[in-house]
Structures are given as C-alpha cells and as structure tokens.
Structure 1
Amino acid sequence: MERGSNQVSPRTDDEMKHELEGRLRSGRPTHVEEEHDPEPPADDDIRVDTGGPVPPPGEERERARAQEEADSLLRELARHLERTAFPADRETVLDVLRAHHAPDSVLDEAAALPDSGTYANVTEIVEALGHRPTR
C-alpha cells in the first residue's frame, strides 16, 4: 500500500483525473466547463494586455486589418504554390501561380516582388512584399 501525502482516496483521485481529462488533452476548457469560463473579449474591445501603452482605437483596427491582409495573402499563396517550387525567384512564383489559376489579386501582389532574390518559402514572399504575417 502506498503511503504518500495524497489527501483523497484512490477512487476520488481517479474521478478527478477523469473530470480533467478533456481539459488536459485539449489544452483549453471543454464544453462541460463552459459556465466557469470567463467571457471572451468582444471584437471591438481595446486590448490592454499588450505590455505597452494602449493605442488609439483606430490604430488598433488598422493594425488588425493589415495583419488580416498579410495572413490572407499568405494563405492564398500557400494554397497555390507547391513546395517543389522552392527555392523560387519572382518569375517562378508567377509561373506557378498562373499554372494553378491563382486569383488576379494574388497575381498582382506577386508581380510586385523584386526582380532579384530567391525565396525559400511563402512567408519570405509575403515579407518581401512588405507584409508581416502571424507566426
């Protein structure tokens, strides 16, 4: 018999493990515990946990919009570019995008790439276009 500092019986301990199993596996609260979760922030709330001064509301929205555009471009490029295309220069990127029937907006963005330079992945392409995708 094990004599540790455990204050609960083995049966209670197993019940507690079973109750926490979903949360431990998922890394986030489960639906069963929904009433105990704090209310999530609204879309238009100003973030105050940034570690610095709180930006004006318009600045935060503009930053979020630019971030969404960068992430959207990254997703579209990743959808139409194959891994075998890398490393790629500007012309290779444009050729592969045309071959995969990428939307005109993506082709227009890729056409703005500098003539010199090669890119190892989609993130490097997005950064070369002046965007900062979420990592």
Structure 2
Amino acid sequence: MERGSSKHGPRLDDEMESEVSGLVQGPGAAGSRVNESRQPEPAGEDQPEPKTAPAGALRSGNPQGMSSDDVEARSRLGRFITMTALPGDRETLVANARDNEAPADLVAELERLPTGTRYQTVSEIWAALGHRNETTRW
C-alpha cells in the first residue's frame, strides 16, 4: 500500500511539489519561476562563451607611469593609513598603521621613511618609499 498525505490527495501533492521545485532545485530546474527576461542570453553561434574573468590583467586604464601592481600596492598602503594621520610624520604614520592592524611588511616599509618629514598624502608616502606615482599629462 502506498502511503500518501492525510490532508491532500496525490494530485494536489504533485501540484504542490512542482510549485516549489524551482525553489528547491534552483533556477535551472524545470518548472522554476524565474522570469525569462532575467536569464542571460546565450552566446551567438559565432561568439565565444562568456567567462567570469578575462585573461591577463584584470585592471585596465591604469594611470600613465604605473602598472596595475603599483596601483594595487599603493591602494593597500592607503587602506591602513587613515585621513586622521595626514599630514603626519613617520612616527604618526607607523602608529596609525599599527592601530589599523596593518601587516608587518607594510609597517616595516613605513619605518624606512626618513624622520622629520611630514607627508600630506598617501601618494607622497608612496614616492618617499621609492615607488613610482602616475605621471601628469600636460
């Protein structure tokens, strides 16, 4: 004997199961309620399938005079130096970086800065550490 629900008949059980199958199995399941206009359109016959990330460098439009690695490294430095530390000297910047839990290699870089110099921006700090900033176009 087949055991069924005591509240519904088999027809209603099947209907209710098909209503929630899209929620249980995801958008690719048959009978899902995903709006067709929200589904990505497939690539054309002569077009390659889209990929999540393009090959090569993920950043385009780097400033003139800087590579994408330079931009990322300067950005990393800027994440650990808050605006309250600027303008600031070496001691202020090192203390601020430590307060913001900067990695040890970044704190060591800041400790290489010369004493007695006040820095106004992260770009000035970056240049004082011996790195290149973008070149201006005239």
- With normalisation by structure 1, the TM-score equals 0.48
Which one scores higher on RCO, CA 8 angstroms, separation ≥ 6? 1
The structure with the greater share of residues assigned to helix is: 1
- Bigger radius of gyration, 1 or 2? 2
- With normalisation by structure 2, the TM-score equals 0.47
